[in-house]
Structure 1
Amino acid sequence: MRVLLYAIALALLGGFAVKANAAEVVKDNSFLIEEAYNQEPGVVQFIQTYQYLDPAHEWGYSFTNEIPITDETHQFSYVIPVLKKSAVGGDGDKTQIGDVLLNYRYQLMNTEMISMAPRFSIILPTGDYKKGFGNGVAGFQFNHAVSITLNDRWTNHWNAGFTYTPDAKNELGETASLFGFNFGTSVVYNVTPKTNLLCEFVMNNNEVVAGQDTKATEATYYVVPGIRTAFQAGQETEIVPGIGALLGVGPSAAEHERGVFLYLSVESKLW
């Protein structure tokens, strides 16, 4: 938490150094929430995230690349996750790639007040299900993002979606079809156009294979307060670092789950 406070102080100092009229307000750089803004024509975004959780001492890293298809209306992206899991039974910790996502997102609406962007994803079975890093089969995901500009300072974002994985496998090779759903919302406050405070709430309710044709439910609830700030690197590139605290609430609070979330985006006009 002390590291988070230091980062907020430095980011605020850096943000106030940026002239308010020098650039537009930062968009599409939330942590666990999707903002409903597709990439502009020719602008490609590279996103890296890292999250660490106690008391499990597990972490996850992801690399995301967002690419516009001709214009803002259509966007393709992919997500490559790397996971570190604490082993059970003294076999040592494990770190491997998880299941990769291929995403298509459609800019359904984009006005000064409200934006909407549904996303459809295919989940590729790239993770090793025998070691708990994937489901062993392809899955499908849908998420709908809505962003509401309340005024010059405040923005509100909403997410809702579901995931379906037919005949998913556990580490023993037992199978069951899994369904999960997600919900999230956040508020963003513009301290300056380039330095924003965020507070996100995310909920995930997912099924796991507990035996042959048998399922169990796992749910996580997190509140994520944080800060992001943007820096220009030349005329065509923007760099956005961010940091947040992962605070478990509800069932996640009962398990004393907490951690840190790190974010880094590089966005550049390539054509």
Structure 2
Amino acid sequence: MSLLRNVIVVWAVVASWTAQAAEVVKDNSFLIEEAYNQDPGVVQFIQSYQYMDPSNEWTYNFTNEIPMGSMDHQFSYVIPVMKLNGAEDDTNIGDVLLNYRYQLMNTDLIAIAPRFTLIVPTGDYKKGFGSGVAGFQFNQAVSVTLSDRWTNHWNAGFTFTPDAKNSAGDTATVFGFNFGTSVIYNVTPKTNLLCEFVMNSNEVVVSQDAKATEQTYYVVPGIRTAFDVGEETEIVPGVGALLGLGPSAVEHERGVFVYLSIESKLW
């Protein structure tokens, strides 16, 4: 992780030299969801890449966030591509997420946005890339502005998949829940240092009507910087480290997270 640390230090120095006075970037997390919908007409394209060691598995996600008329309503979709080190060491698409998010509250102090998600069974469950059936996910995002430089985001939610399938075709109804929080520090209006905590607990099918629980815990320190391209486009690159805690630490899980967002006013 020494190379990643050096990259972050250099990035912070360069960003502090090049930053200009601007509105503070609010969508400033990686694995934590902020409670801010897109402004009317502003569409966001997000790419993220997550590599994990010692499993040598990776996940690439493409996300597109689209406002629906006003800021109150937002549609988005997530297309995941994964490399899994199973029996066939394969790379394939996973289950696609179709999201609706409602801006329940957005004040200078606090923002609240619940998200409702349909999980589409596009992944090949026989190879471990999906559940083989449609599922439902809910996530509650809360963002709190602590000061001009400090922001705190909170997430809590669950996933429900009836009659999920494992690679052998065995079925069971599985449930999972997630919790996370992030603390953001604005080095400049366009540069954010962040530290996230993310916990996921998910049931998996092990045999017919039998399931087990798998849990992961990560701390994610990182940095993001925004660059304006013209008057209506913003590019946000970011990088972070995934450090395992609890069971994830025992298994020596660690990784790197790379982020790139392009946000532009299209209408």
Alignment TM-score, normalising by the size of structure 2: 0.98
Q: Report what 1:147 is aligned to.
A: 143
Matched letter for residue 135 of structure 1: S
User: 1:150: Cα distance to partner?
Assistant: 0.2
The 5-angstrom pairing of residues 71-220 of structure 1 reads 71-88=70-87, 91=88, 93-220=89-216
Q: Which residue of 2 is the match for residue 52 of structure 1?
A: 51
Q: Using the TM superposition, give the Cα deviation of residue 223 of structure 1 relative to its aligned residue in structure 2, in angstroms.
A: 0.2
For residue 243 of structure 1, report the CA deviation from its aligned partner.
0.3
Task: State the alpha-carbon separation in 2 of the partners of residues 15 and 201 from structure 1.
Answer: 25
Is residue 32–residue 153 contact of structure 2 (8 Å, CA) maintained in 1?
yes
CA contact (8 A) 2:28 2:184 kept: no
- The whole-number CA distance in structure 2 between the counterparts of 1:232 and 1:10 is 20
**Residue 62 of structure 1: aligned partner:** 61
1:38 aligns with 2:37: yes
Q: State how far apart, in whole Å, the 2-side matches of 1:151 and 1:20 are.
A: 20
CA distance in 2, matches of 1:233, 1:6: 27
- Change beyond 3 A, Cα 1:195–1:110: same
Distance in 2 (CA, whole Å) between partners of 1:3 and 1:195 is 20
Partner of 1:15: 15
User: 1:248 pairs with 244, 247, 262, which one?
Assistant: 244
Cα pair 2:217 2:244 within 8 Å, conserved: yes
Deviations 1:127-178 (A, max 9, x none): 0000000000000000000000000110000000000000000001000001
Tell me the residue number matched to 1:6. Answer: 6
Give structure 2 stretches of 5+ with no counterpart: none
Q: Which runs of 4+ in 1 moved over 4 A?
A: none
Residue identity over aligned pairs, in percent, reads 74
Query: 1:19 offset after TM fit, Å?
Result: 4.7
> Aligned residue pairs: how many?
267
CA RMSD of aligned residues (A): 1.0
The alpha-carbon deviation at position 87 of structure 1 amounts to 2.0
User: Cα deviations across residues 196-255 of structure 1 (Å, max 9, x unaligned)?
Assistant: 100000000000001100010000000000000000111110000000000000000000
Q: Supply the distance in 2 between the matched residues of 1:176 and 1:5 (Cα, whole angstroms).
A: 43
Structure 2 residue matching 1:15: 3-state secondary structure: helix
What secondary structure is seen at the aligned counterpart in 1 of 2:198? strand
Residue 20 of structure 1: how far off its partner (Å): 4.6
1:10, distance to aligned residue in structure 2 (A)? 3.2
